[in-house]
Amino acid sequence: MCLLCQKVDKSNHGHHLIYHSEGGSASTNNIVTLCPECHRDYHAGRINVDLGRF
């Protein structure tokens, strides 16, 4: 289920809260699930949510 829009989709993505490229771990404690649309919109800056609060 997408954390932002609550959409259930088999193609949902894992999103690192602390980016892997910045030293974030690959553990489930550092990943939230986003649907492809919300994930794309988040990285494009169309969604402004502090995912670190989750």
Structure confidence at residue 52 (pLDDT): 64
What tens digit of pLDDT does each residue of 1-54 get? 999 999 998 999 988 888 888 888 888 888 899 999 999 998 899 988 777 666
Structure confidence at residue 48 (pLDDT): 82
Q: Give the predicted TM-score (pTM) of the model.
A: 0.75
Structure confidence at residue 28 (pLDDT): 87
What does the DSSP 8-state code read for residue 28? G
For the chain, give every domain's residue range.
13-53
Element (H, E) at 15: strand 13-16
